[in-house]
Structure 1
Amino acid sequence: MYSQKISTLIIFFAILSCVDVKQSEEKKPSKFQEKYRPQYHFTPPSGWMNDPNGMVYYEGEYHLFYQHNPDSTVWGPMHWGHAVSSDLVHWEHLPIALKPDSLGTIFSGSAVLDQKNTSGLGSEKNPPLVAIYTYHNAKMEKTGSNKFQTQGIAFSTDKGRNWQKYKGNPVLENPGIKDFRDPKVSWHEPSKKWIMALAVKDKISFYSSPNLLDWTFESDFGKNKGAHGGVWECPDLFPLKINGQEMWVLLVSINPGGPNGGSATQYFIGDFDGKTFTTQQEETLWLDYGTDNYAGVTWSNVEDNRVFMGWMSNWDYANIVPTENWRSAMTIARKLSLGEIDGKKRLISKPLQNYQNQLAAKTLNWEIEGQNAFLIRQVNEWTEIDFKKDIDENQSIEIELFNENEESLKLELDLAKEEIVLDRSLIENHSFSEKFKSVQSAPANFKKQNLKIVIYKDASSIEIFINDGEWVMTALYFTEKDLNKMKITSNKSFTAEIKNSNFKSIW
């Protein structure tokens, strides 16, 4: 019986080796052709990039600012790089928006539309865009002072093309705390005030202001809540509804202290009354269990949607990944919502539908029934695997992406262990960091339900969305050749529909 099953499997793979899913239409040449350069993720033209900043929507444009060192591919004096998009897929690079000055370099922050001109920096007819950011004064830091991070603002009255720094900067002085940064500001309608969530050591401090210029401390959050293995950074606070009830979500990035090492983003679900954030949540929840989604926040001034984008790297190795001319990419844009898993409220993260418009005209489909294995000889960037029958509670499924050099990424879903595992240890190019050679895992309970897996693969990254974003894993990889083959195996038979297509380059 055993040898018969193996023989059948070998014959099955031999037959399926003929399956080739290359698209008939040719890809247009990209102006960004360097090795490892993503083709549908945002990257800087050159230089270093980390945290997404100042994300605001205004008059048909999504603004993306980002931490940027234009003079090197490693972290250095921070500027705000700038790009705009009409669809969050295609991007137009713009000149650097904010540069260092006598108060310091320009660390992370946010941007808002001051619709009512509360700041007085625009007018009723032409309300300003206002950026709120952290000044980092390296000279002051070297003297031993803890007051080297303060909050400043800049404003624009021409759709974000030109920015003027406020003459009264800083608008929020440092009370003497070493880590005092990354302001995320939003309008709180019930209290008619601006609210700032600020990362302070390993907690979040909330401030309020009537005008974006004068700030009052309100409360702290974080004691005995969440993960505290490192510094808290890049918070975001926003409301979402579930079953008609409004809840508040607080995103907090942490480095180190992630569930799989290094950087990661945790979240809290609770209530906010304009002064204090509270939660009954006891366990630590993570937005993404992969190692390479950090410092992400959401766009402001977007009606009916909460759209997220993160920095696709990890501080364990971000400065030394093997790219040239540029370093780092952003995740694809994701829509956040609240849902329930096993009766518990959870944050759901799904790719924006806009990316479907970037797929090739032809999508290939397979209907698989009662099989233990399936091989695709030539796989493209987007794959959807929809298991059409309830999977067995003792079933394990492995999806392997590999190439002719025997490099591979393996995704395993083990229902008995209630675990997802992403293994990139078989990627040859990890000599730049032993920490990159990692096996990443996430707790998950898929019992008694269908299973759907969507994979977004680019030149050096993979984003995996399971059951419409209930579980998400994002990871970098650097292979000599494309991971252009896929094998799906299971310890029990499965029935599934598989779709595969390629992305047209956004460049």
Structure 2
Amino acid sequence: MNPDTQPRPATRRPAFHFSVPDNWKNDPQRPIHLAGEYLYYYLYNGDYLAGGIGTSWRLATTRDHVAFVDRGVAIPKFSNGNGDCWSGSLVVDTGGTAGFGAGAIVALVTQARVDAVPEGRQAQYLWYSTDGGRSFRSGGDDPVLDVPGIPDFRDPKVIWDAERGRWFLALAEGDRLGFYASTDLRTWDRVGEFARDDLGLLECPDIFSMTADDGSTTWVLGVSANAKHRGLPATYAYWTGAFDGRTFVPDAEQPRWLDWGFDFYGAVTYPHHGTTGAEDPGLRHVIGWANFWDYPHNTPTIDTDGYNGDDMIVRDLRLVRDERGYRLISAPTAALADYVTTTHLVGDVEVSAHVDLDVSAVAYDLECDVSWSASTQDVGVQVCRAPGGTRFVAAGLDVTKGSAYLDRSFTANPTRARSEAPFDPTAGSVRLRVLVDRTSVEVFVADGETVQSHRVFPLSGDERIRLYSSGGAAVFRDVTVRELEVGPRRDGGAG
């Protein structure tokens, strides 16, 4: 039998990435920390396979950002006449400012009525929970924030502004973010805005302060943006800068990007909490939807596993500061190391054209340091490689151009495409880390200076790994492949 015509695998469900139990998921909602665990809500359509529309909020919990326990639907869809539940954010109202008692969980949720004329209606509604976030009740039929006539008016992101003793909200309003303030989560006053007309439709805003590696602190404003028309990503853009409770002044005009790939949309960041429950100001996490609205329904998992909806791996974020200013660097979250099932210590490999590793795996974490000669033009790793070599995903470095790339053109994927991110080849070496799972490949370059995430669908048997170099020789040092699997009870989140 031709190895390149093997049947599809029995399952395409990821081995170590989050996936919805059934039907559909899209946007993540910012997780909150409560009683030693993180509560992760996401938009869920339980009627997706039957052709139903609308989304609810479904809950999963985790203690380590890798393994999640499904807790079911927390806000049912079409619970009232205010329309579909879309994205929003939650806070633990420790002071009871909203009137539901100290410690209540309060969610501000966009509800959308597509039947409203002439352009539909999006407004912000309050929901609350007094049972630890397992279920929510409506805080009233009237919106707490509504500006009729604005077609894009959604995705409220709420934080506690400790310096001014009030709540602050950033809202996506087309080509700008509206800024609002409140003392009770119910009555909101517009206090400012942040406008950008060169990044497409802005969605899912994010704002937080963070301590850098040099001990300084700065603010970060993030947003899901679509800059494809400029040859830039359509993922999570962010700026560092100054925030005074009303305005945000960026350090630079152009944003940086948390991901340069194609499938890291609607991403949300959230603070890390230590063993005492206190926030760590120098560490955050980020989780992003492994899909994009250009091709949301194009996945074979519908047929093989009865679902459509994965996330990319949760990352640890740290803020670094140097002569280039502030920037966020990413790494797969640290607890991923707890789910290694087999480790292959390949060692140092010299490559003048290509070398096929004596390792085959479906889901794994590959790490190495790559160095190259003066004549080397292109160097990297082919993963998800078919035995006959006709299919693969290439994670590599175009040394002459100074770009890192992730190329899914030669395997099954939603659209044939290659993404690129800038990297500095002058050092002659770089750290490369590649995460491979049944529906995704993610490449971290230079210790997470840049990341690229792609949705891919390798066939059964596409498990080979090839190291390659063209134009000159390269050395792959300390090549290590760690196979990964999150077992059904190795979740760290039970109870």
Task: Report 1:116-135 matches (<5 A).
Answer: 116-123=95-102, 127-135=103-111
Report deviation, 1:394. 5.4
Q: Which residue of 1 is the match for residue 149 of structure 2?
A: 176
Query: How much has 1:98 moved relative to structure 2?
Result: 1.0
Residue number in structure 2 paired with 1:149: 122
- Asked whether the 8 Å contact 1:255–1:315 carries over to 2, the reply is no
Call closer, same or farther: CA 1:301–1:273 in 2, change over 3 Å: farther
Distance 2:147 2:355 in 1: 59
Task: Determine the structure 2 residue equivalent to 1:404.
Answer: 387
Match of 1:208 in 2: 181
Q: Is the 8 A contact 2:26 2:289 kept in 1?
A: yes
How many equivalent residue pairs?
460
Distance 2:41 2:316 in 1: 19
Percent identity reads 29
C-alpha displacement at 1:383, in angstroms?
3.5
Partner of 2:75: 98
Q: Which residue of 2 aligns with 1:83?
A: 60
Match among 450, 468, 489 for residue 489 of structure 1: 468
Which one of the candidate residues 252, 258, 269 is aligned to 2:240? 269
Match of 2:250 in 1: 279
Measured in 2, the distance between the counterparts of 1:385 and 1:212 equals 46
Give the superposition deviation at 1:35.
Answer: 3.0
AA at the equivalent of 2:247: T
CA deviations 1:146-196 (Å, max 9, x no partner) are: 5x1000111111111121110253111124210000011111110111111
Q: Which of 264, 267, 270 is the equivalent residue of 1:296?
A: 267
Amino acid across the alignment from 1:413: L
Is the Cα–Cα contact under 8 Å of residues 261 and 291 in structure 1 kept in the other structure?
no
One-letter code of the match for 2:314? Answer: A
CA contact (8 A) 1:155 1:166 kept: yes
Match of 2:44 in 1: 68
SS at match of 2:91: strand
Say if 2:354 is the partner of 1:376.
no
The structural deviation recorded for 1:398 is 2.2
- 1:12 aligned residue: none
Q: Structure 2 residue aligned with 1:367, among 341, 347, 354?
A: 347
334-343 or 418-427, larger mean C-alpha shift:
334-343
- How far did residue 57 of structure 1 move? 1.0
Q: 1:314 aligns to what SS in structure 2?
A: coil
Task: Please name the residue that 2:492 is paired with.
Answer: none
Q: What residue is the counterpart of 2:115 in the other structure?
A: 139
Which letter maps to 1:426? F
Aligned partner of 2:337: which letter? Answer: Q
Alpha-carbon distance between aligned partners in 2 of 1:453 and 1:342, rounded to the nearest angstrom: 23
| CA offset digits 1:280-335 (Å, max 9, x no partner) | 31224221011011000122584113111010111111122222111020111111
Does the aligned pair in 2 maintain the 1:42–1:330 contact within 8 Å? yes
- Please list every run of at least 4 consecutive aligned residues from structure 1 whose deviation after the TM superposition is greater than 4 angstroms: 258-262, 388-395
Deviation string for 1:21-42 (max 9, x for gaps)? xxxxxxxxxxxx9532112111
Q: Which residue of 2 aligns with 1:421?
A: 405
437, 440, 443: which one pairs with 1:458? 437
In 2, are the aligned partners of 1:98 and 1:163 still within 8 Å (CA)?
yes
1:382 is displaced (CA, Å) by: 2.5
* CA distances 1:337-357 after superposition (whole Å, capped 9, x unpaired): 222576343221111101100
Matched AA of 1:411: A
1:163 aligns with 136
Q: TM-score, normalised by structure 2?
A: 0.87
Q: Is the 8 A contact 1:85 1:92 kept in 2?
A: yes
Answer yes or no: is 1:52 the counterpart of 2:28. Answer: yes
RMSD between aligned residues: 2.3
The one-letter code sitting in structure 2 at the alignment partner of 1:247 is T
Q: State the one-letter code of the partner of 1:185.
A: V
1:144 CA drift (Å): 0.4
Structure 1 residue 441, shift from structure 2 partner: 1.3
Q: Where do residues 288-367 of structure 1 align in structure 2 (5 Å cutoff)? A: 288-299=259-270, 302=273, 303-304=279-280, 305-324=283-302, 325-340=306-321, 343-360=324-341, 362-367=342-347
How far the C-alpha of 1:233 sits from its partner, in A, is 0.3
Q: Matched residues in 1 for 2:75 and 2:350: separation? A: 58
Change in CA separation of 1:262 and 1:348 when aligned onto 2, cut-off 3 Å: closer
Distance 1:258 1:348 in 2: 25
